[in-house]
Amino acid sequence: MARVTVQDHDLVVTIEGLDKLWALKSSLTIPLRNVRGATVDPGIVKQSKGIRAPGTHLPGVITAGTFHQEGERIFWDVRDAAKAVVIELADERYARLVVEVDDPRVTVALIESATRGS
Amino acid sequence: MGRTRQFDEDTVVRAAVELFATRAYDGISVDDLVTHLGVHRNSLYKTFGSKKGLYLVALRRHADDHVRPLAEALGSAADLEQAARLITAAPLDLLLVSAVERAPYDPEVAEVVARAFGDLDRALAGLLPDALASAFTAALLGVRLRARATGPSTEDLAGALAHRLGE
């Protein structure tokens, strides 16, 4: 589970609880100008995730860490597919983040309002 | 974005205009987009940033492809009855769905919808004074909404309104 907040001009994604261990990361800070959008996407968990390095992938249990696919680096932290949100980035280490959040619609609305007009 | 896209963006956006016109925004999942638009998930995110990004591109495309030509045709309509026929016949489903469903909650969608309505109002400047032009287009878009719900017999309503206003 991740907590997504906006602090000044940054989007801060904090990885909570034991997921920190599986994902090998405790937080990510992304300038809002590098955030292209966010989407509620429960279906993404079913698609191929590419090659994991480094991180944890127990199919059906948890997908966490850095994955490489089609030349892109993607960060995952998802246990419950129903709560997956995709955050698309530009000019960042990761092309996109796929994270589980408490309330996907609220998170997407937060990101859309924080990045509006940018 | 120097990399060659593995799909035809134009075709995808036109298909999105059709799909987003069929039901509520939240009722269309990314799975639906991937299935109906024939584009890979990663390409979709890479190109449009998000579902919302694709929606905005599709709505703007709808305004360019369908609302602008309608406004041009209205600008040279001979009378209100012809104008009414043009408005009731034009493909405006995405504009109507957006106005009802997304615009109240999304300022960027509201902006595109407001501009489209304004274009239609102004196109009638030769036939009606400003306030009446807005009332006329609003009534005809209402006729379109009714037709979406109860079937396509809108000719009479639109014709009667045009006839009465044109007297």
Instruction: Please tell me which of the candidates A47, A69, A116 has its beta carbon nearest to residue B107.
Output: A116
Give the model's confidence band at B6: pLDDT under 50 very low, under 70 low, under 90 confident, else very high.
low
Give the model's confidence band at B154: pLDDT under 50 very low, under 70 low, under 90 confident, else very high.
low
Distance CA B78, CA A108 (A): 47
Q: What pLDDT sits at residue A21?
A: 74
Q: What pLDDT sits at residue B28?
A: 97
- By DSSP bridging, strand A10-15 and strand A2-7 are antiparallel
Instruction: Please tell me which of the candidates A39, A72, A112 has its beta carbon nearest to residue B42.
Output: A72
Give the model's confidence band at B29: pLDDT under 50 very low, under 70 low, under 90 confident, else very high.
very high
pLDDT, mean of residues B36-54: 96
Q: What pLDDT sits at residue A63?
A: 86
pLDDT, mean of residues A86-104: 97
Give the model's confidence band at B155: pLDDT under 50 very low, under 70 low, under 90 confident, else very high.
low
Q: What pLDDT sits at residue B152?
A: 66
Contact residues for B36 (Cβ-Cβ < 8 A; gap 6+):
B15, B19
- Contact yes or no for A65/A55 (Cβ under 8 A): yes
Say yes or no: B29 contacts chain A, CB-CB below 8 A: yes
Query: For residue range A12-32, what is the model confidence (pLDDT) as tens digits?
Result: 999 988 777 777 778 999 999
Give me chain B's average pLDDT, please. 91
Q: Could you tell me the pTM of the whole model?
A: 0.91
Look up residue B97 and give its amino acid. Answer: V
| Domains parsed from chain B with CATH numbers | 9-166 (1.10.357.10)
- Contact yes or no for B33/B51 (Cβ under 8 A): yes
Q: What percent of chain B has pLDDT over 90?
A: 75
**DSSP letter string over chain A?**
-EEEEEETTEEEEEE-TTHHHHHT-SEEEEEGGGEEEEEE-GGGGGS---EEEEEEEETTTEEEEEEEETTEEEEEEES-GGGEEEEEESSSS-SEEEEE-S-HHHHHHHHHHHHTT-
CB B34 to CB A37 under 8 A?
Answer: no
Look up residue B92 and give its amino acid. Answer: L
Helix (H, G, I), strand (E, B) or coil at B26: helix
Angle B134-B135-B140 from CA coordinates, rounded to 5°:
100
pLDDT, mean of residues A27-45: 96
Give the model's confidence band at B1: pLDDT under 50 very low, under 70 low, under 90 confident, else very high.
very low
pLDDT, mean of residues A40-66: 83
- State the sign of the Cα–Cα–Cα–Cα dihedral A56, A57, A63, A66: positive
- Contact yes or no for A111/A87 (Cβ under 8 A): yes
Say yes or no: A50 contacts chain B, CB-CB below 8 A: no
Distance CA A57, CA A61 (A): 8
H or E stretch at B34: helix B30-37
